Chain A
Amino acid sequence: NDCYSQSYPQLYEPGQRSLYFSKGAFIKCALHSCYSSLVLFFVPYAAVRDSVSTDGHDIADHQSFALLTQTCLTVTVCVQLGLDLSYWTAVNHLFVWGSLGMYFLVTFTMQSDGLHRLYASSFPFVGTAHNSLDQVTVWLTVLLTAVLCVLPVVVHRFLFMQLNPTINDKAQPPPPRRRARIRRSSTRCSGYAFSYAYGYGDLVTSKRFLRRPVPLRSAGSTPAGRSAAFRPAGRSAGYSPSGQ
């Protein structure tokens, strides 16, 4: 937000140095796409090759294979998207889970018996979703594809955060929480106690400390490592409060 932008002008450096939109970044993106494309085709290919369904019927037919690859793709994209989202607000939850849900809803509707009866030539995939999405191997293939596409990204990001942290990883918010813990003198916080410490001017003059703070951040985000809680790798869609 605007406070961070003024206190940490180094955050503008990646933009000026074209760190995130350069030939190198593009080549990395292209390589990741190539790898994902190969995984998204060859894993379903190998999984249904010479295989049959649990009641002996065909599972390697053209329509089932297309549906399987499509499902792998959608789930992988949603998982990768979830990984890239920095802030999960209610709106983000709605759109990510909603996308996945809409995909299955539309697939089952388009491949239903009713629509085929109405417009036979437009809906030739009748019965495919029903017949192939109840196979355990289909879901295991989807899971395997999603994991194969996303986990290398997680490893890459984690290792780079440890070995070569960018300015975004290093930037830390002002530390009122840490100081409050160290002090431990009384459980009642008064404006007077904080007014002598650096960075509390706004807090004291804004009267916010008088009201009981509402916890705005739920669990799961306290880091154990040295990189602190400020980590937007992309655009932040929501607002992350600086800790009250």
Chain B
Amino acid sequence: MKAGPSRTNRPDNTAFTQQRLPAWQPILSAGIVIPGFTLIGLAFIGVGVALFVTSQKITDLEIDYTGVAATSPCFKCTSFAAENCMCQMEFTLTTLFEGPVFFYYGLTSYYQNFRTYGVSKDGYQLSGDTYYFNNPQDSCAPYQYDSNNNPIVPCGSIANSMFSDTFQLYQVVNGMKKQVPLDGKGIAWWTDYNIKYSNPALVNGSFANAFSGTVKPVNWSKPVYELDPTDQANNGFLNQNFLVWMRQAALPKFQKLYGRIAEGDYAQGLPAGNYTLLINYSYPVISFGGTKKVVLSNVSWMGGKNQFLGIAYLVIGSLCIVMAMVMLIIYAKYKFTDDDEDM
């Protein structure tokens, strides 16, 4: 080799620069693919069985109270003229509904995932920044100012459409109604309650004064500082039901947590018997073809009742094993044919 200026441009003779790095070369050989598929298939079938069995054991009960049918107890509340209408739905439990029981309200055909609906809120207002109380962001339009040009707090479509039905559950014992306590604490995410949303500071010792100069959302019956006057920790933007509602759902059919049944006589769950659900019906859904329902459910290590994962794992596991056998047959057939050709 001649020494000279060309030598200075030579790359280093290391493994990295000369592409001689030690490499592992995975190959799709029969010895790896077929046992691999069998193992995956068996593992998936195992997981699928566990998921399916667990899901079968979870109980859930749905009570539709939209009141579309004339025979429904809540039909009287569906007319527009009805205000503060109360209706009662009755149901019976044949066995113990194991606790802790979670109480949800569910809506269908409700598109909280609609884009313009989803951005229609003011994050600054909701974190207690009072400057934005008087100057709500444009993303809240048309629920930004009311007809008299007063700023709305909390502004936006999501807050304005907050679910307003309330529920009380009673067990009928010896002809008498015994209330089942619904625990509404901690139903929202910890991060929502502690980090994402916060109330404005009190003004002159009064919470209502912090909102002076603003009006409540158009569809609300009471302003945000009266959502829970008895408990300041649950009032204003930190109201648990408000936080649960503001966490917009991804799908048009959703359920949101309303309360937990885990105290007192019902710590073990709901015993068998007759129950009455008293509903303060004020949220209109019939105009857009939606339905409302109450869902009672218990949970397990995999969450709520969901048949899909268990069945999917079982199906995929079986398919894997079938494919492993098919591949083995094809491989064996072609291997033996080839060996014959070589001879």
Give chain A's interface residues, CB within 8 Å of chain B.
Answer: 43, 45-66, 83, 85-91, 113, 116-117, 120-121, 124, 126-127, 130-131, 135-137, 140-141, 144, 147-148, 151, 154-155, 157-159, 161-163, 216-218, 220-227, 229, 231, 238-241
Contacts and interface: CB of A to CB of B under 8 A. Distances in A.
A87 B27 CA distance: 10
Contacts of B127: 120
A155 B303 contact: no
Interface string B105-127: 00000001100001000011001
Contact of A161 (B28, B192, B260): B28
Given A52-B303, A124-B123, A88 B25 contact: yes
Nearest to A64: B250
A180 to B, nearest CB: 21
Contacts of A221: 24-27
A151 B20 CA distance: 31
B189 A131 contact: yes
A53 B312 contact: no
Given A223-B29, A225-B335, A58 B312 contact: no
6 contacts: A43-B312, A48-B250, A57-B188, A162-B331, A217-B22, A225-B331
B233 to A, nearest CB: 19
Given A57-B188, A220-B26, 4 more contacts: A52-B257, A87-B25, A159-B330, A162-B30
Contact of B25 (A60, A148, A217, A227): A217
Nearest to A151: B320
Contacts of A216: 22-23
Contacts of A53: 299, 303-304
B102 interface: yes
A243 to B, nearest CB: 11
Contacts of B24: 87-88, 217-218, 220-221
Given A120-B123, A223-B29, A239-B20, A54 B299 contact: yes
B19 A239 contact: yes
Nearest to A86: B25
Nearest to A54: B303
B113 A62 contact: yes
Contact of A88 (B26, B244, B306, B309): B26
Q: Most chain-A CB neighbours within 10 Å: which of B124, B196, B303?
A: B303
Main SS of chain B's interface residues?
A: mixed
Interface in B306-340: 306, 308-309, 312-313, 316, 320, 323, 327, 330-331, 334-335, 338
A117 B327 contact: no
B6 to A, nearest CB: 20
Given A151-B37, A162-B330, A47 B306 contact: yes
Contact of A144 (B187, B196, B250, B313): B313
Given A50-B304, A127-B192, A58 B25 contact: no
B247 A61 contact: yes
A83 B26 CA distance: 8
B29 A227 contact: yes
A155 B316 CA distance: 14
B254 interface: yes
Nearest to B196: A126
B274 interface: no
B102 A56 contact: yes
Contacts of A58: 189, 244, 247, 249, 256-257
A53 B305 CA distance: 10
A120 to B, nearest CB: 6
Given A226-B335, A239-B21, A62 B249 contact: yes
A51 B306 contact: yes
B248 interface: yes
A144 B113 contact: no
A79 B340 CA distance: 37
Nearest to B60: A50
Contacts of B22: 89-90, 216-218
Contacts of B189: 57-58, 127, 131
B306 A49 contact: yes
Interface in B171-188: 187-188
A127 B196 contact: yes
A238 B124 contact: no
B53 interface: no
B140 to A, nearest CB: 13
Contacts of B247: 58, 61-63
A47 B308 contact: yes
Contacts of A144: 309, 312-313, 316
B262 to A, nearest CB: 10
B123 A121 contact: yes
Contacts of B278: none
B330 A141 contact: no
Contact of B309 (A47, A89, A159): A47
Contact of B28 (A48, A120, A157): A157
Nearest to A232: B25
Nearest to A226: B338
A155 B330 CA distance: 12
Nearest to A165: B334
A163 B25 contact: no
Contacts of B37: 151, 155
